[in-house]
Amino acid sequence: MGLALGIVFAVIVLVIGPAAEAGSPAKNIVLVHGANTDGSGWRGVYDILTKDGYRVSVVQQPLTGLADDVAATKRVLDRQEGPVILVGHSYGGAIITVVGADPKVKALVYVAAVQPDIGETTSGLASSMPGEVPASDLKLTKDGFIFVDSAKFAADVAADLPPALAGYMANAQTPVAAAAFDAPATVAAWRDKPSYGIIATEDRALNPKLARWMYERSGAQITEIKGSHLVYISEPEAVARVIEKAARAVGEE
């Protein structure tokens, strides 16, 4: 009798177990930062997601060029086991658009981020509907990297952050290679996978009208959040909720 029950139990586990797993949400979240910042800005979102049971990885891409940044993101993606929700902020949207073609990636979340189509560039999209940041606030180094004028950083991208934090970030920038903005997307993963777009309504760097146009073009589920370009830092709870929505939707497929 004991052997018979053991066989029955084993069959139940084999039949029911995979089905139950298939309906669970994606538990792996990979976060990609944007230009002139680093991965530490994701800390608030990271803490919320990990508390809610997600496995979260933060990419520290070098911002030395789109190909380099894609490669850095792939290194982190290759370490994941199971389905992944890939999240990008600002220029990070160009990165996840390419990396998102990986079969592990099940959905893309764009946080005040560019969402290029094949052949489009970050600079081309930005110039099509410019934001409110004056070109003079962007300072180009001799070797082709861009800083935001430290004195203008808070007003341009971080108006809703505490002054001390905005001041620190202004003086701790990771400059981005200007060439990264001119590199065309070689693939547009959002054409084949669900995407979610967060519009920061007080964004001066990425025109909210451009964000809406891109997200509507892709058929993304759009969420508006009142915040600056660094909305993921000022409103981490609201941003995390969108990411978790994407993760749950994957589990419902």
Domains of the chain as residue ranges with CATH: 28-252 (3.40.50.1820)
Assign 25 a pLDDT band (cuts: 50, 70, 90): confident
Residue-level pLDDT at 15: 37
Instruction: Calculate mean pLDDT across residues 81-108.
Output: 98
pTM score: 0.90
State yes or no: pLDDT of 207 exceeds 70: yes
Closest C-alpha to 95, from 190, 226, 200:
190
CB proximity list for 90: less than 8 A, separation 6 or greater: 33, 34, 35, 37, 111, 112, 113, 114, 205, 206, 229
Instruction: Calculate mean pLDDT across residues 10-38.
Output: 67
Residue-level pLDDT at 64: 98
Angle 60-41-235 from CA coordinates, rounded to 5°:
140
CB proximity list for 142: less than 8 A, separation 6 or greater: none
Instruction: Calculate mean pLDDT across residues 208-231.
Output: 98
Instruction: Calculate mean pLDDT across residues 110-119.
Output: 98
Evaluate whether 117 touches 188 at the Cβ level (below 8 Å). yes
